[in-house]
Structure 1
Amino acid sequence: MMDNENVIIAQNQEKYYEYHQSANTLFHFMGKLDYLLLSLTKRSLLPRYILENVEYLKLEYKGKQIKWLSIPMLCFCDINLHKLPMHVVGSGLSGNNDGYGAYGLGLDKKWCEQKGLQPISYLNENASQTERLQLLLNKGLDLMDQDKNKIDSSNEELYDYLITQVALSKPLWGKMKKGEAEIQKNFHDEREWRFIPNLEDSDSPEFLNDVTHPEGVQYPAQQDFSDALQEEKDAHLELEIDIIKYIFVRNLDDKEKLLELLNIEYERRDALEMATKIVIYDQIVKDW
């Protein structure tokens, strides 16, 4: 007979999987109220193409260094509520606007796990893990067809795996693009999770880089690719009312616009439930 001390009682098992050193909510913040209203109207979060600086990986193709990758994704932070201001408004260092905005959603973390969201890896560019990833990626680039910019089918699955690893990795610190500006960030503080849509059966590119597709990583093209992705419903992260724990707006005026949208787009009972989740950032930040 098993020792009772080694038996986990089923009704208490969930307690072992709660998060105690991090949040039980993942937060997705945006810079504009319109983005939030669009997400709630469509009842989905819409991935966008994000530029990732990969200079730390020292990738080369045809003698040119690849510095930027454009990857479709949704980004979330795993940060407790009282530590959100740095993420929302930024550090303010050197006058940079390096926050992500005060509009957003807080989603149940267990639901996010079920939907395939993944915490990213933070890479120290001086570590052996990073050096091995550099080596394998450059070997893959050497195997690419020089005319078609495409890897041969026998190595395609391996290289797709490596690209996925890059899409789910960041350096500990570095630079990022915000609009057309370039800013410095401590990425490790963000405790980021990502949703990477499956675009295998889509017309949208799975990724672009600044050597083989230099025009594709420019700001106007990024916007065009992201707008096209909004029409790819299979790429969206569809939301459920029950898993939305917080809806962040900046001020009281924003709250009124949000309530108006909820009354139009949702059944009365659902609109009332959603209204209870609204958090006015300018008010609550004073109490954190």
Structure 2
Amino acid sequence: MAISSNSLYHFTNTIKNLEGIIENGFMPRYSLEDIKIKHIHLEIPFPMVCFCDIPLSKISKHLDVYGYYGVGLSMNWAVKNRLNPIFYLDSNSQSAQTIMDVMMRLNSLGNDLKLEFTTGRNDVFFEIKQLLRYIKPFRDDFKRKGKILKNYKFYDEREWRYVLSYEDNFNRLQLDFKKYTNKKILETENKIISAKSLIFDAGDVNYLIVKHDNQIPSLIKSITKMDRFTDNEKSTLMTRVISAERIKTDF
């Protein structure tokens, strides 16, 4: 049995969100990344869209955490759009020590290391910080929907990410933490970066997932009304619809 999938999946909480993704693509949002490297603890909001490559036979737990509505896209689409698997890091590992050594070596002017990474003042630090967008703890407490999942094993998520690049907008590759905690400012900033949506064609879609079997007709009806697809493309999308409850019982 495969330990990874030939599709990349993105999950959300409502059928309305799923319909928006099908019609408009994936809109990047700022996500607060909790990065721990030795004694340095950074909280930096980066703009991204997250995916996983978990086989459907093993996806049940992931659905419970991230939502029962999703899109599964081909690996060819992922490679074409420059997505990449993330790097899971144990904060006390040799890899963490190497990253820490590089940061300390760059910090030759004696500036505050944490400040360098949260303000983006230094160009070299900025380059290194872009690599941090692909780092996540191997295992840590996880805040999700107002709850804390203790000692959560992020490694099981097999995450891939789409992040904004220099070409997209140099000035919006991260967000100040104070702005992130201000709901009004965050909403404005998310709206700005949503213009850099990640688009897919009907032929890129392997699966469209709803929570219950009885929601399949509703999603099909919504697809028939979408202007960006031809009739043949709509027919293709309709054949890709499956329910999470079917996945849990049949895969």
Return the letter of the residue paired with 1:129.
Answer: S
Q: Choose from 271, 275, 278 the match for 2:238.
A: 275
Cα distance between partner residues in 2 of 1:201 and 1:287:
41
Distance 1:107 1:247 in 2: 9
Letter in 1 for 2:121: I
Q: Does 1:28 align with 2:4?
A: no
Counterpart of 2:189, as a letter, is F
Matched, 1:260 2:221: yes
Residues 206-245 of structure 1: pairs in structure 2 closer than 5 A: 206-208=173-175, 213-218=176-181, 220=183, 221-230=185-194, 232=195, 235-245=196-206
Give the TM-score, by structure 2 length.
0.85
- Match for residue 196 of structure 1 among 136, 154, 163: 163
Q: For 2:141 and 2:134, how far apart are their aligned partners in 1?
A: 16
Shift of residue 245 of structure 1? 0.2
Give the count of matched residue pairs. Answer: 243
Partner of 1:116: 82
CA contact (8 A) 1:179 1:219 kept: no
Contact 2:140–2:154 (8 Å) recurs in 1: yes
Does the Cα contact within 8 Å between 1:204 and 1:225 map onto a contact in 2? no
Report the Cα offset of residue 136 of structure 1.
Answer: 3.1
SS in 2 for 1:239: coil
Q: Structure 1: where are the runs of 5+ without partners?
A: 1-18, 60-65, 90-98
State the 1:36 CA deviation.
Answer: 0.9
What's the offset of the Cα at 1:73?
Answer: 0.8
Does structure 1 retain, via aligned residues, the 8 Å contact 2:83–2:162? Answer: yes
| Letter paired with 1:36 | L
Q: CA deviation at 1:256?
A: 2.5
* Local SS of the residue matching 1:76: strand
Query: Does the 8 Å contact 1:57/1:130 carry over to 2?
Result: yes
SS of 1:50 mapped into structure 2: strand
Residues 120 and 240 of structure 1: is their aligned pair in 2 closer, same or farther, counting only changes over 3 Å?
same
The equivalent of 1:160 in structure 2 is 126
Matches within 5 A, 1:1-288: 21-42=3-24, 44-59=25-40, 66-89=41-64, 99-137=65-103, 142-143=110-111, 149-152=119-122, 156=123, 158-184=124-150, 185-198=152-165, 202=169, 205-208=172-175, 213-218=176-181, 220=183, 221-230=185-194, 232=195, 235-265=196-226, 266-288=229-251
* 8 Å CA contact 2:29, 2:48 repeated in 1: yes
Gaps of 5+ in 2: none
How much has 1:247 moved relative to structure 2?
0.3
TM-score (norm 1): 0.75
Look up the SS of the partner of 1:79 in the other structure: coil
Identity of aligned residues (%): 22
Supply the distance in 2 between the matched residues of 1:167 and 1:103 (Cα, whole angstroms): 25
Provide the alpha-carbon RMSD of the alignment: 2.8
